[in-house]
């Protein structure tokens, strides 16, 4: 069907695209699986212990782009490090009777091109809690985001694994010969981590990957190592290549700062509907909460438009915080501890840009209007920790422009009812970790002005179930301190 569109029809069709930009949607770039290579490496490492040097087996997994281009980022994704700790090493590191272990890993990775060398710190790789087997080695897997690398000249770029540093935290410690924690033990207390530093054994091959880098082609930039839009997507802006570094830039992308955590905890009450049943024999205690904060960042995927939005963009200039009333309530039962926290999220408004009809730029802003969140952290004897976050929020749309011309959606354009949000992860709240869930977006209401009703059109574009939300919560910071902003999770 051909023919010109009327002005009114154009405005209405443009409104559909407006919602996409209103939630900061980034159009996907298509599958790049054929332009990726998987790196798998096993190496022996020497680890220093008070009793002497011990050897451990370490396995690396990562996905690299098949090729790169000058001035364009190369970012390994799907990075995993699996460490096999012999039983004597575990016995020396962790207290007797330890039932489980979790922790973080950091790998000093060397990036080289010709005579140029740079160090890429693969830090803050984290592990879910692992139950210790009755006998034999303990296998601990670590994963997380790593920095992108940009080079200023053509030629092969190599990635080589170097020093490995582990910080391991023991889970609940049981009395030897029993299944119960010691009488004076507090399973909710987090002990100081045991640290282990390891270097590649003599003769070990730790080359992870070689990526050939060619001159940049502005017309067809090289694919990223993910199939979605690059969250650090400042490599190109409107087809213009980013400025190539001199040598190798292997540092992490700059991340946003945060305000200092308030001195007083937020006010409010826990939502009783989001609290799990008290286990048999459990005792409930009300506590005096402390003020702490954390920065949550991530992606929300809009199923109908097959696109994703960045939530609380860590690229700055400022990231919002979740202000916590930490430990408002506790529940204790045999082998079970539950801490309940209240969270007050104040995330910055999002601004998005979208090309309507493939050529007409559209921008809009979205305001998040959340209710307090109820956060439940459960620690069970011999099992990974569970964190559940539940809250409701309205999404409000404003300041919409199509090709620079304001499109008036009115002052009351928002979801007709709050968006129910329930996220689940496997980590202790104090350490931070990955949360996941699905959203059912209600219809929009109150959209339009001057007698024009845009509710049905906008709702048809975005409302519905099955919208995936992935949020990485950073480590908590104390009152009066700024928080560390985590990197975005993988899409």
* Every domain of the chain and the residues it spans: 14-27+255-478, 34-227
User: Would you state the pLDDT for residue 205?
Assistant: 94
- Contact between 99 and 382 (Cβ < 8 Å): yes
User: Would you state the pLDDT for residue 284?
Assistant: 96
Beta-strand pair 77-85/100-113: unpaired
* Angle between helix 7-22 and 455-462 (nearest 10): 50
CA distance 61 to 79: 6
User: Would you state the pLDDT for residue 214?
Assistant: 92
User: Would you state the pLDDT for residue 244?
Assistant: 62
User: Would you state the pLDDT for residue 35?
Assistant: 64
Those residues of the chain that have pLDDT short of 70 are 1-35, 172-191, 217-245, 251-254, 305-308, 350-364, 402-403
With CA atoms as reference, report the closest residue to 273 among 388, 172, 184.
Answer: 388
Residue matched to tokens 């029809």 = 9
- Element (DSSP H or E) covering residue 170: strand 155-170
User: Would you state the pLDDT for residue 408?
Assistant: 84
């Amino acid at each position: 069907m051909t023919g010109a569109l009327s002005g009114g029809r154009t405005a209405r069709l443009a409104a559909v695209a407006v919602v996409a930009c209103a939630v900061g949607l980034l159009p996907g770039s298509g599958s790049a699986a054929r332009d990726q290579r998987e790196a798998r490496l096993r190496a022996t490492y020497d680890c220093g212990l008070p009793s002497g040097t011990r050897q451990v087996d370490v396995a690396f997994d990562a996905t690299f782009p098949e090729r790169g281009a000058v001035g364009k980022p190369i970012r390994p994704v799907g990075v995993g490090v699996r460490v096999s700790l012999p039983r004597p090493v575990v016995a020396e590191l962790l207290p007797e009777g330890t039932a489980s272990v979790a922790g973080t890993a950091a790998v000093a990775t060397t990036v080289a091109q010709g005579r140029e060398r740079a160090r890429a710190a693969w830090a803050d790789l984290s592990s879910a809690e692992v139950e210790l087997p009755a006998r034999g080695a303990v296998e601990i897997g670590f994963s997380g985001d790593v920095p992108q690398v940009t080079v200023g000249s053509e030629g092969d770029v190599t990635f080589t694994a170097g020093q490995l540093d582990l910080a391991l935290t023991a889970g609940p410690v049981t009395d030897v010969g029993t299944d119960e924690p010691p009488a004076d033990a507090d399973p909710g207390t987090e002990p100081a981590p045991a640290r282990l530093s390891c270097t590649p054994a003599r003769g070990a091959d730790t080359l992870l990957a070689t990526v050939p880098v060619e001159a940049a082609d502005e017309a067809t930039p090289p694919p990223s190592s993910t199939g979605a839009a690059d969250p650090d997507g400042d490599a190109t802006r409107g087809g213009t290549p980013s400025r190539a570094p001199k040598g190798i830039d292997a540092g992490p992308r700059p991340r946003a700062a945060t305000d200092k955590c308030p001195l007083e905890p937020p006010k409010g009450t826990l939502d009783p509907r989001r609290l799990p049943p008290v286990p048999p024999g459990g005792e409930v205690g009300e506590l005096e909460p402390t003020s702490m904060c954390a920065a949550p960042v991530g992606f929300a995927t809009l199923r109908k438009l097959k696109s994703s939005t960045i939530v609380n963009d860590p690229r700055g200039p400022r990231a919002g915080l979740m202000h916590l009333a930490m430990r408002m309530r506790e529940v204790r039962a045999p082998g079970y501890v539950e801490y309940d926290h209240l969270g007050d999220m104040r995330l910055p408004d999002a601004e998005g840009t979208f090309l309507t009809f493939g050529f007409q730029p559209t921008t809009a802003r979205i305001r998040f209007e959340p209710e307090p969140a109820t956060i439940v952290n459960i620690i069970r004897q011999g099992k990974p920790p569970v964190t559940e976050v539940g809250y409701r929020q309205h999404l409000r749309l404003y300041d919409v422009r199509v090709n620079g011309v304001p499109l008036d959606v009115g002052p009351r354009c928002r979801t007709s009812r709050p968006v129910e949000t329930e996220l689940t992860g496997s980590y202790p709240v104090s350490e931070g970790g990955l949360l996941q869930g699905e959203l059912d977006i209600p219809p929009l209401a109150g959209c339009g002005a001057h007698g024009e009703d845009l509710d049905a059109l906008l709702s048809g574009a975005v409302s519905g179930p099955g919208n995936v939300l992935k949020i990485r919560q950073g480590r908590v910071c104390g009152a009066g301190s700024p928080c560390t902003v985590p990197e975005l999770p993988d899409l």
